[in-house]
With several copies, the nearest count.
Chain A
Amino acid sequence: MNKVLFFAHLRDEAGHESVEIEAAGKTVAELKQIIAEKYGVQKLDTSMTAINEEFSSNDEVINEGDTVAFIPPVSGG
């Protein structure tokens, strides 16, 4: 299983802080599509993705146990 984290407006859209989903073997892009459909989350295409707290590209493959976080454009500072 994989833990998927949502932040900022994505969290509001998803209605969850995090969900558990089976994503091993899928690419980030594939997971984004699944999440968009299942949770009605828009704007994943303008979000960054982190796997295990490191930025990942859309074609990276998710492993069993990885934590995936969708990271909207940041606004700290």
Chain B
Amino acid sequence: MNYEIAKEPINVQSVIDKVVQRDAGAITTFIGTVREMTKGKKTLYLIYDAYEPMAVKKLEQIGTEIQERWNGAQVAITHRVGRLDITDIAVVIAVSTPHRNDAYEANRYAIERIKEIVPIWKKEHWEDGQEWIGNQLETVPYPTGKPEEKDLNE
């Protein structure tokens, strides 16, 4: 159960615990939190929705991609759905590797891939309205109907 969609608040330590290993010298975590101000606009709260079974599969796929690229990596990801208030945790990504550079790079790869291929959406609620947020307001159409594999590890 290293890849989960959670309906309740995420316990960061429990995600970290899944990647502890004797051959790790480094564990990185990314914790995505709900920010109040974005481009001068005040967010009240967010609703996250997911296509759950596919989202779990895609998180697993990201973990597999990481283990193929970074030797000895262990990965755990939990993404929350439902209503989240300011400073609440939306996602926790934990990656352990023998050496620290890999732990940073693999972790960053994970969040970028989540934003590309994992079917999760957020609806922002402001004082004056609400909107489902697309990939930067849908400036990225998918001409082939599916996302292209991109190499994020330059």
Chain A interface residues (CB < 8 Å from chain B) = 5, 7-9, 12, 28-29, 43, 45-50, 53-58, 69, 71-77
Contacts and interface: CB of A to CB of B under 8 A. Distances in A.
B114 interface: yes
Nearest to B53: A53
Contacts of A74: 115-121, 135
A74 B134 CA distance: 6
B126 interface: no
B9 interface: no
Given A69-B54, A69-B119, A76 B48 contact: yes
A76 B132 contact: no
Interface of B: 32, 48-51, 53-55, 57, 79, 90-91, 100, 111, 114-123, 131-135, 138, 140-142, 144-147
A12 B132 contact: yes
Contacts of A50: 51, 54, 119
Main secondary structure of the interface of B (DSSP, over half): mixed
A9 B147 contact: no
A47 B142 CA distance: 7
A77 B134 contact: no
Contacts of B122: 75-76
A48 B138 CA distance: 12
Given A46-B141, A73-B135, A8 B147 contact: no
Q: Which of A5, A50, A56, A76 counts the most chain B CB atoms within 10 A?
A: A76
B74 to A, nearest CB: 20
A76 B112 CA distance: 10
A58 B91 contact: no
Contacts of A7: 49, 51, 119, 121
Q: Which of A28, A54, A57, A73 counts the most chain B CB atoms within 10 A?
A: A73
A61 B90 CA distance: 36
